[in-house]
Structure 1
Amino acid sequence: MTDTPMLDMPDGRKIPALGLGTYKIPDSQAGSAVRRGLDMGYALVDTAAAYDNERGVGDGFAASDDAFLTTKLWNERQGHDEAIAAFEESLALLGRDYVDLYLIHWPCPAQGKYVDTWKALIELREQGRARSIGVSNFLPDHIDALIDATGVVPAVNQIELHPHFQQRELVAYNSDHGIVTQAWTPLGRGAAFEEEAVKQVAEKHGKSAAQVIIRWHIDKGHSAIPKAADPDHMESNLGALGWSLDEDDIAAIDALDKPDGAVIGRIDC
């Protein structure tokens, strides 16, 4: 399998540009899905406390020494002490003594706890138990508050991102601060598969629509974590590696952005 490109994070570490998402994969199936993905050549696996599958993911990850593992802190566990306790619970379920990346899942500004939560994550990083720390679904003002309070820049901001919802201002902010943009729902649930631009690019390169869109993310410098449990889908997504789009291809997909293109959108917490 073609090697996965690696992206530089602001803490000096690297993160794979393509990973395996596990959202909505039941705990009972997560182990076999993760083992299959790692055997196929996936270099990153993404889970979260809210997915209720950390135990299964950990079981599937047990035989891997060099893949990258991410999990996330859920909203109701924000706050310094609570975040530490939640992290301990995640490690226990995963059966590990560290994770490669730990993220705050949502800022939940109404709670007023995300800065204290970030301070807890900094402690976990200093202890080596969270090798890198970052955020998910944070907007620039949320990240500014973290940096102003601690001087520590998140390594990653994981956001909804796909051809119909490109969040260009947020992506530019991340880039300006050296933060890796990681795309969840990177295929937009297939909403752009039937776009003529995507079809034409796919035909030009002899690839599927999904492979074209994942490649678009990679060529734009994003990390993408498409969820897959079906072996054929898992293998097909890896077909986004080892080739590139040209400038015209990228421009054609860039033009598909829509102001109302989110398939999930933001949650109110």
Structure 2
Amino acid sequence: MKKSASFLMMVAFAGGLLLLNACTKIPMEGSIAPDIIYKNRKQYAISGLQQNIGEFQSSTSTLPLRFEIMEVRELNGKSIANLNEEVAVVRYIAPIVGNESPAELLLKTDTVMTPAISINPNTGQLEILEGNHIPAGEYHFDIQVSNQSGSRLLRDALVIEFKEFELRTWDAGMGRQPEIERIGDTPNQIRFIGYLDDAPLSGEQIDFTRNRSAGFKGTFVNDTNDGEIWNVNFPVKESDTWCTWKMTDPISNAITYQGHNFNFVIGLPGNYVIRLYK
């Protein structure tokens, strides 16, 4: 008896499914699939600033997944003690209406001590708190991923390179890229030195009063022969800062002002020098 064409097609389709299942490993219920991994394993952070790091790739593993930091290493041998340093964090313990007095707000908050770096056990994100004192360096995190069937250790799951400061942008009209240098642990200050044709200027010949609403939040101290000094409450978050040079024409002695902006962040408290070139 001849078999119908439709019957033969059904047999071929079923055979194809069996072949596909034989070639594709489908995780069993309760398993951890081989596809557990973070996207963009190498990341960057600024010491002292708040940041959440780590996007875990979608996985075919059985949910929910749980995450735990098992070990941290700094390849140059630096201490990792500051990663476990506890930082004071303010938590709200009552709803905020919006018209509370400072005293009422104080009653609705509580301060808890939390490690500078922790991992969200549900998402796998590393949560870095503002106010940390993590030294510059490259830190490697071994992270364990678990579900109902067991666990797997991801060695070097995330690598974070910490920097103490960073120059984000600068005006193309500047003579060259500004330079940031940490010169000591104290006092908490920034000394801005303006250069004109590579010759240093006195503090009176540069000015930071323009666009102060977007600039770094500091308190002016003094103009000196070697720059303009500001007291600063660190960290300095991203700051679109405008610097104006006082220019004197050598022939007519006419005074003009030329300004350029630059954008920077500084995380750790300390004594810094920022050199600006015109």
- Larger-gyration structure (1/2): 2
Q: Which has the higher helix share?
A: 1
Q: TM-score, normalised by structure 1?
A: 0.25
Higher normalized strand content (fraction of residues): 2
Q: TM-score, normalised by structure 2?
A: 0.25
